Amino acid sequence: MYCRILINGVVQGIGFRPFVYNIALKHNLKGYVLNRGDAGVEILVKGSKSQIENFIFSLKNHKPTLARYETFVIEYNPSPSSSDHKTFEIAPSSLTRGSAGSYIPPDLPICEKCITEMKSDPRRVNYPFTSCVDCGPRYTVITSLPYDRPRTVMEEFPLCPDCLVEYKNPADRRFHAQTTCCWNCGPRYYLLDKFGNVIFDKEDFQNNWLDVAKILDEGNIIAIKGIGGTHLASCTVNDDPILKLRRWKGARGDKPFAVMSSNLDRVRIFAEYSPAEAQLLQSLTRPILLLEKKHDFPLSPFISPRLHNIGVLLPYAGIHFLLSENITDPALIMTSGNPSNIPILIENEEIQQQLSSVADYFLLHDRQIYQRADDSVMRFHKVNEEGYPLLIRRSRGYVPEPIQLPWTSSNITVLALGAEMYNVGALGIGGRCFPTQHIGHMTTIENVDFFNSTIEHMKELLGIKSLDALGGDLHPQFLTTQKGQQLASENNIPFFQFQHHFAHLGALALDAKVDPQEKIICVALDGTGYGEDGTIWGGEILYGNYSEYKRLAHLEKQILLGGDQAISQPYRVLLGILLSDFSLEDITAEFKRIPWLSWIPQTSSYPLIGKQLEKIMFHRSSGGFHKTSSCGRLLDAISVLLGAAKNRTYEGEPAIKLESFAEKALDKSISLEFKLSSITTADGMVEIQTSPLIHNIWEYICRNYQRERIALAAEKAIARKFAEVALDLANKHGASKIGMSGGVCYNRVIFTEFYEYISKYGNANSIISHKRIPCGDGGIAIGQVPLIQAKLV
């Protein structure tokens, strides 16, 4: 008898056909297995009923580690085959697509067996592109489906006779491994100096690669083309190359650099990690993970200035192992090779042109990167012994894996455009959401082009021909908003706009797999989100589900003196708050008296700000000024007041430095009292008063309390107040689930204090949190997808 099996899920790019081939032979079956154009697999087997049943049992219960089945359709005695199958074979791929849709796995780190071969196999000793069915690039090299070598950038590198033997051998782990290659047939690296002169070419790299490690040891910066883009690499003990990188990056300011170590033992030299964090570092996603610095931090202080933590990742490509194992320093700087707000560079000529003013050398290879992908970034929190791995940036190692949507039977296809900062796009097709890799800030033509090309590539991979609807942010000036309006007009489909923090609610509910009908309490804390009332939101307590949502509470609205200038110069927010209780003369006198605040009256803009403040004082009104309920801006103001930061040179800097400042508190067990009250406004909204908090901090400063201790206590007070109000509102509205979203989630003190309070005074089972979707703006587009679909189902 015959049996046809159609499987969708993750079944291409993981050695699935070789797996099927071998178990078919084991059960003495005839027929074929082939890849389909929708990334699924079709199997036809001929044999007895018991043979086929045993085969299906093996398919379901002994599948490869990376395989995932989302649909498994069995059809006995299908239409007769056109040929009599006398053997079992891996048949040529078909372009046929079904309605279920599958997906290829993300790029995978080099496996231990391949690392061993890089030290022992004559054809692969020190060969940087060594890979097999269990490892190597996937998403960044594939050009179209089904996943076969001719549809990847490896088409340019025909297999040598030895590799071909492995590729065709069912007993070899490179059996149908599409990216396999060796020194004789694969891509190669070559080294150039900053002027483009060849130091050693592709033929010489095999014998000279150790020179690259020596060049790094000498304090040079090397632009290294990798799997999903280019890194700028340098040593980590010598300050000079790191300062050179900072000068060149310009707009980056004090933003920390990530470092790469060859193994966990070397990481232990400069950072602390828990078993859970070690597991994340070694996982298949190989993210950059924020770890706490050792007290006697031996690396340059300019890597992550005035921070208590450092971003660390382990090698995931062969070239990383070669270099990180052979340098003197315990780690390498590995920062993205691109000017600020420009996509990571992937073309050799462009890499040389754009980076020649910072890189001393270029280590390039001749394999095309079809899709760029930045490293993913994570942070790990612990609450009551439970671990919370939080994604900051979801990119390499995750994309193009989907996230399950609440409507599994929906045939609606939508595109979410996200917001502006740290943006990704997301496609919703059927019951799954497919986020793109990290795009970045949608403020440059280059990033917009990157966004457009990535969406088109994912649509092609997923077989999407048309869209039913679009979604984006409420902000009228975002480029994503303008693009949504344009696409909606061109395709005659609706474009739905969602307030920024309602998308955070959608992302949190989706991440926690909340039932579509159930309403949750979402505490959305971040820096900026254009509000429905025209003010800037960012300290919100929301209630709802995917189809209905409303704002229940928020922080007290504070004045943003100078509008956007108050974001880059957060002392402006501080001045606006202090004015409610103090005169300008008193504020100025106190600033001059306090060493870490004496710089404020000396700023060139202070006289103008003073006039604005006097106007407010005279009229006792803030009419005509921008206002915000942002928690991010509140933390910025506290950071300035306590001397943890001055201006903002990168996104979130004052608040990030405030957290590190608080970590230095001498006695973390002793808390301080803060007056954080709440009132009910005329429109029935709960408003958490923040001016008294700033005044309390001012009083503690005047009483000479340790500033770090004040910072820690203030962060805890903010978290507790939000938790208290959230619990009250949950009880009032009958919500059984409470969670937090937004960029403030990455603050360890606020996150842990919030969830510990909810667990202690509420119901531990009511807690929901992010784990698979970024808490910050990298999750906005993902949260928009179910909100769009809810408008249509």
Catalytic residue, chosen from 35, 220, 338, 747, is: 35
Among 677, 709, 704, which Cα is nearest to 693's? 677
Task: Tell me how far apart the alpha carbons of residues 548 and 791 are, in angstroms, rounded to a whole number.
Answer: 10
Give 3-state DSSP helix, strand, coil % of the chain, rounded to 5. Answer: 35, 20, 45
Task: Tell me how far apart the alpha carbons of residues 322 and 125 are, in angstroms, rounded to a whole number.
Answer: 10
If 0-12 CB within 10 Å is exposed, 13-18 middle and 19+ buried, where does residue 237 land? middle
What is residue 45's three-state secondary structure? strand
Verify whether residue 17 is a known catalytic residue.
yes
**H or E element in which residue 161 lies:** helix 161-168
Task: Tell me how far apart the alpha carbons of residues 195 and 353 are, in angstroms, rounded to a whole number.
Answer: 10
Task: Tell me how far apart the alpha carbons of residues 135 and 227 are, in angstroms, rounded to a whole number.
Answer: 12
CB 333 within 8 A of CB 241: yes
**H or E element in which residue 726 lies:** helix 707-733
Encoding tokens for residue 54? 């045993």
Task: Tell me how far apart the alpha carbons of residues 789 and 782 are, in angstroms, rounded to a whole number.
Answer: 12
Task: Tell me how far apart the alpha carbons of residues 248 and 253 are, in angstroms, rounded to a whole number.
Answer: 10
786: Cβ–Cβ under 8 A, 6 or more apart, which residues? Answer: 405, 406, 407, 428, 433, 506, 509, 510, 516, 546
Among 141, 71, 132, 131, which Cα is nearest to 106's? 141
Verify whether residue 704 is a known catalytic residue.
no
Return phi, psi of residue 549, to 5°.
-160, 150
Rg (CA), the chain: 28
DSSP structure class, residue 367: S
CB 779 within 8 A of CB 507: yes
Catalytic residue, chosen from 8, 17, 348, 772, is: 17
Find the Cα–Cα–Cα–Cα dihedral 575, 578, 584, 585, rounded to 10°.
-120
DSSP structure class, residue 561: T
CB 279 within 8 A of CB 287: no
Which residues are the active-site residues?
A: 17, 35
